[in-house]
């Protein structure tokens, strides 16, 4: 291994006591490969097995915590006990070679598909549709709906523990329910769950607290609780970087194992304040990094990219696209084969890379999402 890349392979102990073998994680990415009710499939197992070789941790695609929040037909589920046998297989496959298995938990909220939820309508903080094509106007959640959703995150955490996962990541990003409660666009409530910035934090913090209570009640060994956040919104009114800095300052006091940013590129500066040229991830690290580990992500392909990102003080990096195209990314770097890391995706590589049909179809149909070529290209 090139000595320059040794920082990638330093072990890291999370606040809960869970130890990661290195600083590289796989970012959570939806792959659309589960059964119609969220069952783990052999295709999923093959996909994760290929990418768990050498990684410090794998964060799974988001797993549904409630039938009331179903977003896609073939997404992973963790919303009922009948799914436990498959979830146990998934955790074991990820852990086979030392990677930690972390399952991401989500509720679609107003992004729920009305055709897939039991009531026939999506739920949200308020009766405000998302700003996206075809978005339905949700039903505003009652106090009972809110308490139910909080408990559904708790029960999903119990299932994650029973399935043998090493932790959960609470999805407070990407426009889903927890994000919606923090958003001034989605949340127009005037009760204890909305209105001011502090009240918009109430639901996310209640979920964190209930998840942690569940871990205390059911886990018999150290168990990870992380939180993922999108720092800004394009909507008006929307979440600003100032809002997020206030929120992560509070999250840093919640005994979390990490805060994971969800951004397109590690080095992107705030969209809502063009006077600031600093990376949003670095801003979060500088504010709370001495109290809670921060995970950086976005546009990082090579080990040099990761070394540069770690040089900011951010202790952990998650890779998305790079690990879809290079399932053995970590092993390649460890074995001094970093020149074999590819930055383009061959149209003929699906089977070789164990990429499920669901995400493969999206990759092939969304221009510019990946660099798709007739023959793949290595970096350099």
Domain boundaries, the chain: 3-341
pLDDT band (50, 70, 90) for residue 379: low
CA dist 105 and 157 (Å) reads 8
pLDDT at 60 over 70: yes
Question: What's the confidence (pLDDT) of residue 377?
Answer: 62
Task: Give the domain 3-341 fold.
Answer: TIM Barrel (3.20.20)
Q: How far is CA 157 from the centre of its chain?
A: 15
pLDDT digit string, tens, across residues 250-296: 999 999 999 999 999 999 999 988 889 999 999 999 999 999 999 99
Question: What's the confidence (pLDDT) of residue 375?
Answer: 76
pLDDT at 348 over 60: yes
Query: Are the beta carbons of 297 and 316 closer than 8 angstroms?
Result: no
Question: What's the confidence (pLDDT) of residue 339?
Answer: 97
pLDDT higher for 275 or 153? Answer: 153
pLDDT digit string, tens, across residues 173-225: 999 999 999 999 999 999 999 999 999 999 999 999 999 999 999 999 999 99
The helix/strand/coil state of 104 is strand
% residues pLDDT > 70 (the chain):
99
What are 4's two structure tokens? Answer: 């320059």
Question: What's the confidence (pLDDT) of residue 349?
Answer: 97
Q: List for the chain the helix, strand, coil content (%; round to 5).
A: 35, 15, 50
pLDDT digit string, tens, across residues 221-241: 999 999 999 999 999 999 999
Beta bridge partners of 168: 103, 225
Mean of the pLDDT values across residues 151-162? 99
Average model confidence (pLDDT) for the chain? 97
pLDDT at 380 over 60: no
Question: What's the confidence (pLDDT) of residue 274?
Answer: 83
**Phi first, then psi: what are they for 58, rounded to 5°?**
-115, 125
> What's the CA angle centered on 249, arms 243 and 250, to 5 degrees?
95
Query: Are the beta carbons of 214 and 9 closer than 8 angstroms?
Result: no
pLDDT at 376 over 70: no
């Amino acid at each position: 291994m090139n000595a320059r890349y040794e920082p990638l392979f330093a072990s890291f102990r999370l606040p809960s006591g869970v130890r990661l073998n290195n600083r590289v994680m796989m970012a959570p990415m939806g792959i659309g490969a589960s059964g119609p009710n969220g069952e783990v499939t052999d295709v999923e197992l093959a996909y994760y097995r290929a990418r768990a070789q050498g990684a410090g941790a794998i964060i799974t695609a988001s797993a549904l915590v409630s039938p009331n929040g179903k977003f896609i037909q073939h997404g992973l589920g963790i919303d009922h006990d009948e799914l436990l046998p498959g979830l146990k297989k998934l955790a074991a496959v990820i852990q086979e070679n030392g990677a930690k298995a972390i399952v991401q938990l989500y509720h679609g909220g107003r992004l729920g598909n009305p055709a897939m939820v039991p009531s026939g309508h999506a739920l949200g903080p308020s009766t405000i549709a998302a700003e996206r094509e075809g978005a339905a106007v949700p039903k505003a959640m009652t106090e009972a709906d809110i308490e139910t959703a909080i408990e559904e995150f708790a029960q999903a955490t119990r299932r994650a523990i029973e399935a043998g996962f090493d932790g959960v990541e609470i999805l407070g990003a990407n426009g889903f329910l927890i994000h919606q409660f923090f958003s001034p666009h989605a949340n127009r409530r005037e009760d204890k769950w909305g209105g001011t910035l502090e009240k918009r934090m109430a639901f996310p913090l209640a979920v964190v607290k209930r998840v942690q209570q569940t871990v205390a009640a059911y886990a018999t060994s150290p168990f990870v609780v992380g939180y993922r956040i999108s720092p800004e919104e394009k909507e008006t009114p929307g979440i600003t970087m100032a809002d997020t800095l206030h929120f992560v300052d509070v999250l840093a006091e919640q005994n979390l194992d990490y805060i994971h940013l969800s951004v397109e590129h590690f080095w992107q500066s705030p969209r809502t304040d063009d006077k600031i040229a600093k990376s949003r991830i670095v801003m979060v690290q500088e504010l709370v990094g001495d109290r809670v580990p921060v995970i950086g992500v976005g546009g990082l392909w090579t080990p040099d990219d990761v070394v540069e990102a770690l040089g900011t003080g951010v202790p952990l990096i998650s890779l998305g696209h790079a690990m879809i195209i290079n399932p053995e990314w970590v092993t390649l770097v460890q074995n001094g084969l970093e020149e074999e890391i590819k930055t383009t995706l061959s149209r003929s590589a699906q089977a070789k890379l164990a990429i499920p049909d669901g995400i493969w179809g999206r990759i092939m149909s969304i221009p510019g999402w990946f660099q798709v070529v007739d023959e793949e290209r290595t970096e350099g």
